[in-house]
Structure 1
Amino acid sequence: MPTKPFPVLAFCALLLGGAAIGFAGIMMRLSDVNPVASAFWRMALAAPLLWVWALASAGGDRAAGLRTDYSRVLLLAGFFFAADMGVWHVSLHFTSVANATLLPNMAPLCIAAWLWFKYQARFSRSFLLGMALAMTGAVLLVGPSVGLGGTRLLGDGLGLLVAGFYAAYQLAVKDGRASYSTARLMAWSTSITALFLLPFALLMPGDFWPAGAAGWLPLLGLALIAQIGGQTVITYAFAHLPSSLSSISLLIQPLTAALAAWAIFGEAIGPVQMAGGAVLLLGIYLSKRGTA
């Protein structure tokens, strides 16, 4: 029996989407609103454009047998993404940025454990080696800045909780793509995420509204690059790739963030981080080989 060809286009789209999300932290640093407000505006500014796309493609969705109504999976995707972003911003108050960046990237372990527990999934040796290498590379990328002890224990615990929420979001999106188009799923989940984030954005210390017209530019960048150009492309790819491989491939985000911080802010990239980036890419490659 011939094997199904590996979806190369979807895999490339996933990597590009992950790279686009890697710029989110940069644009968040450039914004002049509080961190949760920047996450809210990322959703609120992207949602109208996504709804225009979703409504324009409704006829094609129905013709393809895809759903255009509302269901619980849409709520779950929005809730888990809001929890992911909201708890992550809270964790930043208790631990280092490096720790808060690293710990949520433990999501592949959560997804692999869930697939093994729920579906008795089996993974090839190449895939498991690739996952180990990719996560090791992520640790090396962030490792020089990671700290332990003190008041960071609570923040580190929240960071691990974020990993669980991010894994749950990815699984919800994977489930949703079985019956919804990318446009419909993203329009609903982005809108629901914005609604969940709004009260926390208003209550969090710091400005909710940008100080001037220039302050909207980083927020528009978050909406167009990270949410529409990043998450939307990732959502498309999730329909064609296994959840386990998708989660590991998204570890390209810290590599992109490190390169962007070096190019824009002049933040140094040392030999350990360079090695981490190379190990991470090798891990993604081996994971792909173990899945194809």
Structure 2
Amino acid sequence: MTKATERGGGFALLALILANIALAFGPLFVRMADTGPVSAGFWRLTLALPVLVLIAMQRREPLSGYGRGIWWMLALGGFAFALDLASWNFGIERTKLANSTLFGNMGSIILVLYGFVISRAWPHKAELGAVILAIVGAGLLMGSSYELDVRNLVGDLFCLAAGVLYVVYLLSIRHVRNELGSWSVLVWSTVFGIGPLLLIALLLGEPVWPTDWTAVLLLAVVCQLFGQGLMVYAVSHFSPVVLGIVLLSQPVIAAIIGWVVFNEVLSLADWIGMIAIGVALVLVRLPEARRAARLAGSPQAS
């Protein structure tokens, strides 16, 4: 366990959960926007950028003077995030919402498997149980409304690509997060994402300029400033396994949004799925909590 993980504790876990809650509202705001879906992603980054710069400057986080390797990782993260937003927003319009949620969260499984590979260790029983519970829970949540249909194929593939690209983004910012402040990382990942999103929107012939700014402002504030701000802060405090499990909480949040906003009925399977993912979030933290307790009680910690 890293020093960052030891310092993170409950506050970092709360930040990670709140980040996922905020990010889960993204599809709703994209559908509300009167721009094209990729254009909405462009405004999400563009409107948030001045605020991000001000926050980074106020916190005296350096915005220049990095090594070449850090610049490459920031550029990779920003480009991957731009393609993630473009693919996700494009796919949402071309498949069912349940399908987009399912495929968009496939990256979580990749992140979990990556975590086990880089640790070069078999998962603890609690971690393995958490993975199984989270996958089963997500399957129960989305299984009843998921529909395999060739008409949804294009949207499904774009949402699947978005899930993979988001993993690339998370791993990129996690790589530099221990050396840079969270706000400076978010500033540059946002900067590197704006251009590609605008270019893709223009190539698709989307309407770019909104007539009603409400939805794109909500995207900028809720998803980019609040959601990604908390995500960038929390990402260096946890292993990829924990990150992947917590990302699977987004179907739970999406189901609750559908229940509250659209009066969608939640079945018994939906409730069981949400409870399973909730238990998984507890289980996946047990090994780290035990290691932290042992470290706290060791002579070196005193």
TM-score, shorter chain, exceeding 0.5: yes
CA contact (8 A) 2:96 2:152 kept: yes
Q: Which consecutive unaligned segments of at least 5 residues does structure 2 have?
A: 290-302
Displacement of 1:75 in angstroms is: 0.5
* TM-aligned CA deviation for residue 210 of structure 1: 1.2
- TM-score normalised to the size of structure 1? 0.88
Deviation at 1:152, TM superposition (A): 3.1
User: What letter matches 2:280 in structure 1?
Assistant: G
For residue 45 of structure 2, the aligned residue among 43, 46, 49 is 43
Q: Does 1:281 align with 2:282?
A: no
- Give 1:1-292 correspondences, 5 Å limit: 4=6, 7-58=9-60, 61=61, 69=66, 71-92=71-92, 94-211=94-211, 215-292=212-289
RMSD value, Cα: 2.3
2:294 aligns to what? none
Q: Give the secondary structure class of the aligned counterpart of 1:145.
A: coil
User: Following the alignment from structure 2 to structure 1, what is the Cα–Cα distance between the partners of residues 13 and 219?
Assistant: 23
User: 1:160 offset after TM fit, Å?
Assistant: 2.7
Per-residue CA distance 1:2-23 (angstroms, 9 max, x = gap): x957711100111011111111
Listed one character per residue, the Cα deviations across residues 185-242 of structure 1 (whole Å, up to 9, x for unaligned) are 001101211111111122335421112xxx1111111111111111111111112221
Distance in structure 2 (CA, Å) of the matches to 1:116 and 1:138 = 20
Q: Which amino acid aligns with 1:112?
A: V
Instruction: Report the Cα distance in structure 2 between the residues aligned to 1:155 and 1:109, rounded to whole angstroms.
Output: 20
Distance, in Å, in 2 between the alignment partners of 1:291 and 1:98 is 32
Provide the identity percentage: 31
Q: How far apart, CA to CA, are the structure 2 residues paired with 1:255 and 1:205?
A: 34
State the TM-score, normalized to the length of structure 2: 0.85
Moved over 6 A (4+): none
Write the letter of the residue equivalent to 2:99: N
SS at match of 1:207: coil
Distance 1:68 1:138 in 2: 43
